[in-house]
Amino acid sequence: MKILTYEKIDSTNDEAKRLAKQGVPEWTVVVADRQTKGRGRLGRRWHSDSGGLYLSVILRPPLRTGELFPLTLLMAVATVRTIRGLFNLEAMVKWPNDIVFGGKKLGGVLVETDRQAVIAGIGLNVNNDHFPEEIQKETISLKTILGSKSDPGKIVEVFVQEAKKLYQHFLKKGSDLLIEEWQLFSDLSHPWVKVSTPAKTYEGRILRLGSKGELIIKIADGKIKKFYSGEVTKVR
Ligand code: BT5
């Protein structure tokens, strides 16, 4: 495993893609202190000030495109394990790709594919604690929670160990353990949710996660629906 660190980069996912094209081995990790073009899903912006952790892992899993979804959950679970292990904080997951603390977003996962590799990107607010006005309320960083700075290098080290363990288990034995751990780390105390997809918004009750990591909801008219992407918000 090789960790490449940058003071500044456009996006660690883009750098990982460039490196994948050059044929670097699996588990090459790209880490940056800030990004100029950090992104989330659907082209959304990921605010990437200095002091945050921006990390991408290059993977070459022997899986078809349709089998990759659990990798998003895997990276989120590895991140939560890392935060809980290092800081004893009750970090949680929010389906499909958020890392949250006290209901606020602490980090996010963006898994992308291209012909050469699968790129798993993780953004985590570590020592950065300024966010744009419009997301300030829903956002948090480790520095705000802990009241002091943390060592991003240590977080990377533990994260990679956790992610590797989960990955090897997932490839050998499938996603059962991952899904179980996901449910354990997931705040399902408000199981009534809205799931918004680009096409439509549904309302219903979360039943569980399926074996591929899909969210299974009983929607208001009683039908069961499976989601592989979407935004989940609680219904009060
Ligand atoms: C995500 O997208 O949560 C995935 C974020 C992945 C970022 C990593 S950083 C390393 C790698 N390189 C990249 O270029 N990306 C990956 P999504 O679920 O679409 O959430 C995006 C939304 O989160 C935005 O629209 C904002 O509302 C909010 N947001 C933006 N920056 C944030 C931040 N630093 N902390 C918390 N929330 C943020």
Residue 81 has pLDDT above 90, yes or no: yes
- pLDDT, averaged across the chain: 95
Model pLDDT, residue 134: 95
Whole-angstrom distance, CA of residue 105 vs CA of residue 131: 11
| Model confidence band, residue 234 (pLDDT cutoffs 50, 70, 90) | confident
pLDDT at 162: 98
Please count the other Cβ atoms lying within 10 Å of the Cβ belonging to residue 170.
19
Confidence at residue 164, expressed as pLDDT on a 0 to 100 scale: 98
This prediction has a pTM of 0.96
Of all atoms in ligand 1, which is nearest to the CA of residue 139? 36
| 166 pLDDT more than 90 | yes
Distance 12 CA to ligand 1 centre (A): 12
pLDDT tens digits, one per residue of 84-133: 999 999 999 999 999 999 999 999 999 999 888 999 999 999 999 999 99
pLDDT recorded at residue 189: 73
Is 51 a pocket residue for ligand 1 (Cβ < 6 Å)? no
pLDDT per position as a tens digit, 167-224: 999 999 999 999 999 999 997 777 899 999 999 999 999 999 999 999 999 998 899 9
Q: What pLDDT, on a 0 to 100 scale, did the predictor assign at position 191?
A: 85
What pLDDT score does 215 carry?
A: 95
User: Which structure tokens are listed for 149?
Assistant: 């700075």
Residue ranges of E strands in the chain: 2-9, 28-35, 53-59, 92-94, 98-101, 104-113, 118-124, 192-196, 201-209, 215-219, 224-227, 231-234
- The rounded Å distance from CA 223 to ligand 1 centre is 32
Q: Indicate whether residue 47 lines ligand 1 (CB < 6 A).
A: yes
- Ligand 1 atom with the smallest distance to the CA of 35 is 14
The predicted structure's pLDDT at residue 190: 74
Tally of CB atoms within 10 A around 61: 17
pLDDT at 124: 98
Express each pLDDT in 20-79 by its tens digit: 999 999 999 999 999 999 999 999 999 999 999 999 999 999 999 989 999 999 999 999
